[in-house]
């Protein structure tokens, strides 16, 4: 366990390994006891090499592992085994995982009043169009989908919170909504709420204005499944983060399920309070990445079928090869092709597709521009371009500036002197130093690596 823990993130280790045991060994095989079928599947498919490697280093005759669901472990997990393991972490360390502060138990143990179930106070914001059935599963999203689905079968007891991250248009909202819809259909008595973090913020601000903050907070206490979409927008909002933290803890303590999405990992959300960050990291983290060519083809085929539109393989292949960024754009391209064919009253052919998409394709080919990169970096860190260009050594600005210099160099091959000129006439050695520093840091500092990863995705999404 110690070896495996070192090679995984804390979140992954807790999610997958914390509640496992060795049941038996012999004839080169070790049987690992796992709490549920979901864990069995993931350990056998994704982590078997890690496990075998760790076991082999202790006993070279071990060749193979097998996972077996242990009823005891299942019970343990169902009874909040995960929460329990987190409690251990809380009491044995004074790390950011320490017990929540500012949270009053009394406040949450108020018994629900019959006519005050929270339902009247707000709608669940669910859109029936999003379901698990019409979510196409592929290698880029299978973990996130499996996690959402597992939670739909076992609310509040498996992975809490579940944190899903990935670039725009990759299906985060779709999955979160599908989970909400599934729960509402299966358990009409459960209270589900889906809300974007922006909407959460504006409702909170509104309630402060109307002096109804208490009602606002109380309404959240009756929720069984709280889904917060695009949590990155809480960045920089201290007051909102504070209120959200208390709501989060109140629900968490009651084993109520919380699911969060973001366009980046908790670590890469700038100005996110440490205590929220460690809460987000304390559950399960799953990512959605870009679909491969094969997956893009499958998505297009399925979406065309759903709409009952005839489209030949060559056309599908062409769209899949040219529209690479995300599912939303694939859908957009397909709709465009359909509309074009309908409007012109001609069948869909490769020529028609090429015509219909011609201006979209020009955009994708557009080459990266210096200004675009700097703008993306500025948006990402919330630091104005003027600030970055100015002379001065403010720490909050220095890091984004160095990252921008690094990206200009590595993505565009921009000469050092040009980069220096852009950033207020800085010397080329300053630029060289910045690029070297980021190159080094990205190897050693996870956060820097994750920031660069998110930034590159954003550059691609912006067709830069």
Sequence-distant (≥ 6) Cβ neighbours of residue 165 within 8 angstroms:
172, 261, 262, 263, 264, 265, 285, 286, 287, 288
User: Which of these ranges, 26-34, 92-100, 163-171, 429-437, lies near ligand ADP under the rule CB under 6 A?
Assistant: 163-171
Per the listing, tokens 């909040």 go with 80
Q: 29 or 328, CB closer to ligand ADP?
A: 328
**Token pair listed for 297:** 């083809």
Shortest reach from residue 164's CB to ligand ADP, in Å: 9
Collapsing DSSP states into helix, strand and coil, what is residue 227? strand
Contact between 197 and 229 under an 8 Å Cβ cutoff? The reply is: yes
Q: 294 or 421, CB closer to ligand ADP?
A: 294
User: Which of these ranges, 167-175, 220-228, 299-307, 382-390, lies near Mg ion under the rule CB under 5 A?
Assistant: 167-175
Q: Which does 197 bind (CB under 5 to 8 A by kind): ligand ADP, Mg ion, none?
A: none
Q: 327 or 434, CB closer to ligand ADP?
A: 327
Whole-number Cα distances in Å, 175 to 114, 147, 196:
31, 10, 14
Residue 462 near ligand ADP by CB under 6 A: no
| Ramachandran quadrant class, 346 (left: phi over 0; alpha: psi -120 to 50; beta: rest) | beta
Residue 180 near ligand ADP by CB under 6 A: no
x/- track of binding to Mg ion for residues 121-160 (CB under 5 A): ----------------------------------------
User: Which of these ranges, 30-38, 46-54, 326-334, 360-368, lies near ligand ADP under the rule CB under 6 A?
Assistant: 326-334
Q: 38 or 130, CB closer to Mg ion?
A: 130
**Token pair listed for 368:** 């990266």
Residue 169 near ligand ADP by CB under 6 A: yes
Residue 296 near ligand ADP by CB under 6 A: no
Query: Quick count: other Cβ atoms within 10 Å of Cβ 200?
Result: 25
d(CA 94, CA 446) in angstroms, rounded, equals: 22
* Closest by Cα among 12, 282, 42, 36 to 4: 12
Q: 5 or 331, CB closer to ligand ADP?
A: 331
Per rule CB under 5 A, count of chain residues that contact Mg ion: 2
Given 273, 331, 372, 387, the residue binding ligand ADP (CB under 6 A): 331
397-407 CB burial, b ≥16 within 10 A, e <16? bebbbbbbbbb
Q: Which does 400 bind (CB under 5 to 8 A by kind): Mg ion, ligand ADP, none?
A: none
Residue 173 near Mg ion by CB under 5 A: yes
Shortest reach from residue 172's CB to Mg ion, in Å: 5
Residue 174 near ligand ADP by CB under 6 A: yes
Residue 171 near ligand ADP by CB under 6 A: yes
User: Which of these ranges, 240-248, 325-333, 376-384, 444-452, lies near ligand ADP under the rule CB under 6 A?
Assistant: 325-333
* Closest by Cα among 120, 183, 137 to 156: 183
Given 25, 328, 433, 453, the residue binding ligand ADP (CB under 6 A): 328
d(CA 332, CA 297) in angstroms, rounded, equals: 14
- Sheet with 29-34, edge to edge strand ranges: 21-26, 29-34, 64-69
User: Which of these ranges, 22-30, 173-181, 302-310, 428-436, lies near Mg ion under the rule CB under 5 A?
Assistant: 173-181
Q: 15 or 173, CB closer to Mg ion?
A: 173
Cis peptide before 161 (omega within 30 of 0): yes
Query: What is the DSSP track for 294-340?
Result: HHHHHHHHHHHHHTT----HHHHHHHHHH--S-HHHHHHHHHHHHHH
Shortest reach from residue 233's CB to ligand ADP, in Å: 13
Given 38, 135, 200, 248, the residue binding ligand ADP (CB under 6 A): 135
* Closest by Cα among 314, 281, 300 to 161: 281
Residue 173 near ligand ADP by CB under 6 A: yes
Shortest reach from residue 454's CB to ligand ADP, in Å: 13
452 phi, psi to nearest 5 deg? -65, -40
**Closest residue by beta carbon to ligand ADP:** 171
9 phi, psi to nearest 5 deg? -70, 155
**Which residues would be at the binding site for ligand ADP (CB under 6 A)?**
134-136, 141, 166, 168-174, 327-328, 331
**Which residues would be at the binding site for Mg ion (CB under 5 A)?**
172-173
């Amino acid at each position: 366990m110690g070896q495996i823990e070192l090679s995984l993130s804390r979140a992954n280790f807790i999610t997958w390994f914390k509640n496992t045991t060795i049941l038996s060994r012999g004839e080169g095989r070790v049987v690992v006891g796992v709490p549920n079928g979901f864990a069995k599947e993931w350990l056998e498919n994704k982590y078997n090499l890690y496990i075998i490697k760790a076991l082999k280093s202790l006993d070279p005759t071990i060749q193979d592992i097998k996972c077996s669901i242990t009823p005891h472990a299942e019970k343990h997990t169902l009874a909040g085994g995960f929460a329990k393991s987190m409690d251990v972490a809380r009491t044995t360390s004074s790390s950011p995982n320490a017990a929540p502060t500012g949270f009053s138990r009394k406040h949450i143990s108020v018994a629900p009043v019959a006519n005050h179930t929270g339902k009247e106070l707000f709608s669940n914001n669910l859109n029936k169009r999003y379901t698990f059935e019409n979510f196409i599963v592929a290698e880029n999203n299978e973990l996130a989908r499996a996690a959402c689905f597992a939670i739909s079968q076992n609310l509040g007891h498996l992975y809490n919170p579940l944190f899903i991250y990935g670039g725009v248009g990759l299906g985060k909202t779709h999955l979160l909504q599908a989970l909400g819809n599934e729960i509402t259909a299966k358990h009409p008595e459960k209270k589900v709420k889906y809300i974007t973090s922006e909407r959460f913020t504006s409702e909170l601000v509104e309630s402060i204005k109307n002096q109804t903050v208490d009602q606002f907070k109380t309404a959240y206490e009756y929720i069984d499944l709280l889904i917060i979409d695009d949590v990155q927008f809480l960045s920089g909002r201290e007051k909102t983060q504070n209120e959200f933290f208390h709501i989060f803890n109140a629900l968490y303590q009651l084993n109520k399920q919380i699911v969060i999405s973001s366009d980046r990992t908790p670590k890469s959300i700038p100005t996110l309070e440490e205590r929220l960050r460690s809460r987000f990291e304390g559950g399960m983290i799953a990512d959605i990445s870009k679909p491969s060519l094969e997956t893009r083809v499958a998505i297009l085929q399925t979406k065309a079928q759903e709409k009952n539109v005839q489209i030949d393989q060559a056309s599908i292949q062409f769209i899949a090869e040219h529209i690479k960024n995300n599912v939303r754009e694939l859908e957009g391209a397909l709709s465009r092709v359909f509309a074009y064919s309908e409007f012109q009253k001609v069948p869909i052919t490769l020529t028609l597709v090429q015509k219909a998409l011609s201006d979209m394709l020009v955009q994708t080919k557009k080459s990266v521009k210096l200004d675009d990169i700097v703008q993306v970096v500025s948006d990402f860190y919330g630091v104005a371009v003027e600030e970055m260009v100015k002379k001065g050594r403010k720490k909050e600005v220095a890091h984004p500036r160095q990252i921008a210099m690094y990206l200009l160099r590595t993505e565009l091959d921009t000469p050092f002197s040009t980069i220096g000129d852009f950033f207020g006439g800085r010397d080329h050695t300053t630029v060289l130093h910045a690029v070297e520093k980021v190159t080094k840091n990205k190897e050693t500092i996870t956060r820097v690596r994750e920031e660069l990863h998110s930034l590159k995705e954003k550059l691609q999404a912006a067709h830069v």
